[in-house]
Amino acid sequence: MSIAFQEDRYDHMLYRRCGRSGLKLPAVSLGLWHNFGDIDNQQNARDILRLAFDKGITHFDLANNYGPPAGSAEENFGRIFKQDFKDHRDELIISSKAGWGMWPGPYGNFGSKKYLVASLDQSLKRMGLEYVDIFYHHRPDPDTPMEESMGALDQIVRQGKALYVGISSYSAAETKKAVDILHQLGTPCLIHQPKYSMFDRWIEDGLLDVLTTEGVGCICFSPLAQGLLSDKYLKGIPEGSRAASHRGNGAIEESAITPERIAKAQKLNELAKRRGQNLAQLALAWVLRHPIVTSVLIGVSKTSQLLDSIKCLENLDLKDAELKEIDLILK
């Protein structure tokens, strides 16, 4: 039997419309890239997911390669879903992706139809689901015709294996092309998932404009730059932190915690305190300031971080003077 969740779970979360679609997402969504693999504490993973749902976080984001090892986050999520969430499937938006290396040989990577279709079938099996709500092409493939990758996404929707599709880390020009192809096929591009934080502002250089014009939603990953935009690294690298854990697979390394970035984080932290927030909350509010940004996609290693981060919603209002000060600090 599923456990009981808080009855008031929808009362405090903000839900934003995803581009020009019928779907709303919570302003804060939860990603399972790290902290849900076989190397992680499974009770902690379960506690995080339960708390997230209790707080109105209806969107859990996965990918074929999340773990480590790759695939284990989907397997662990599938088990927890069966234990706790199976009576709530219609209240959840569950996503997965394919695009990075998953299995050996020429069919386990990038963007061929062969890979995307097989990978989603594997993801559904691992999670024990009949369909995902959103399926993404995880990164652009320079060698596969985009018509083929988008054709695979269209087919997947028509087969009922995904309700919506999206793309991740596509440039502005690639996004425009993908959106046009999907439009012609009759399966709209619901959403783009780019990396975006105060320390990585590439989407301001064209992508946000394309998404706004085309009515495509946007969910930003690593909004805390994997923890750098919180107070956790201000006094060194704490034991057990992601940077100290050498998890590989793109996780932040100690070498990324540079004196220059810490000096900026210190100044941002001071500004956050003046607003009555901490740095993580300011960093999330800053990402959400764009109307086209549907959701910030956070990762947490503990329930306390989840509780802390969602408090960003208590003060999303950023004054022009504050935005200017942030630009100056980041320069």
Q: What residue ranges bind ligand NDP (CB under 6 A)? A: 31-34, 61, 138, 168-169, 193, 221-227, 230, 232, 241-242, 280, 297-301, 305, 308-309
Q: Name the residue nearer to ligand NDP (CB basis): 74 or 159.
A: 74
- The Cα 245–Cα 219 span in angstroms is 26
List the alpha helices (DSSP H) in 159-302.
172-185, 207-214, 242-245, 259-274, 279-287
Neighbours of 282 (CB within 10 A): 25
Closest CA to 80 of 65, 60, 110, 57: 60
Q: How far is the CB of 186 from ligand NDP (least distance, A)?
A: 25
Q: Name the residue nearer to ligand NDP (CB basis): 87 or 270.
A: 270
Q: How far is the CB of 100 from ligand NDP (least distance, A)?
A: 8
Q: How far is the CB of 190 from ligand NDP (least distance, A)?
A: 14
Q: Name the residue nearer to ligand NDP (CB basis): 50 or 97.
A: 97
Task: Reduce the DSSP state of residue 11 to 3 states and report it.
Answer: coil
- The Cα 99–Cα 129 span in angstroms is 20
Q: How far is the CB of 11 from ligand NDP (least distance, A)?
A: 22
- The Cα 209–Cα 214 span in angstroms is 8
Task: Reduce the DSSP state of residue 321 to 3 states and report it.
Answer: helix
- The Cα 68–Cα 72 span in angstroms is 6
Q: How far is the CB of 193 from ligand NDP (least distance, A)?
A: 5
β-pair type (24-26, 15-17): antiparallel
Q: How far is the CB of 320 from ligand NDP (least distance, A)?
A: 26
Q: Name the residue nearer to ligand NDP (CB basis): 175 or 309.
A: 309
Q: Name the residue nearer to ligand NDP (CB basis): 112 or 305.
A: 305
Q: Name the residue nearer to ligand NDP (CB basis): 76 or 324.
A: 76
* Residues facing residue 166 across a β-bridge: 136, 191
Q: What are the structure tokens assigned to 296, written together? A: 């910030």
The DSSP secondary-structure symbol of 197 reads B
